[in-house]
Amino acid sequence: MELQEFIANFAAQMDETDPSEITASTAFHDLEEWSSLSALSIIAMVDEEYDVTLRGDDMKNAVTVEDLFNTVKSKL
């Protein structure tokens, strides 16, 4: 899996944040629109695209998009 592709898939789950604002170093919990639904959408996207099951704690422990990418990669 590629980081750029993961970032694009991540950005696609956002409703109000411009995709250009999502980068590897984005601290996603600080995004203005971040909510429990965002977290569930990311978990669902990762399951659909990468067949990896993320837990609520995985979402909580990751700070940046790249952190989450690495978590997913470690579970592939």
Partner 1 sequence: MSGKTILVTGASSGIGRAAAVWCSRLGATLVITGRNAERLDATLSDLHGDGHRCLTCDLAVTEEVERLVAETDSLDGVVLCAGIGFTLPFQFGTTAKIADVMSANFFSPTELLRLLVKKKRLKRGASVVAVSSMGGTHFFTVGNSAYGASKAALESMMRFAARELAPKGIRVNTVLPAMIDTPLIHRGTVSDEEHAADAATYPLKRYGRPEEVAYAIIYLLSDAAAWVTGTSMVIDGGKSLV
If the CB atoms of residues 27 and 37 are measured against partner 1, the closer one turns out to be 37
**Closest approach of partner 1 to the CB of residue 32, in Å:** 17
Range in contact with partner 1 (rule: CB under 8 A) among 15-23, 26-34, 41-49, 68-76: 41-49
Contacts of 28 (CB under 8 A, 6+ apart): 10, 22, 34, 38, 62, 64, 65, 68
Q: Where are the alpha helices (DSSP H) in 1-76?
A: 3-11, 36-50, 56-61, 65-75
Binding site for partner 1 (CB under 8 A): 35-37, 40-41, 43-45, 47-48, 55-57, 59-60
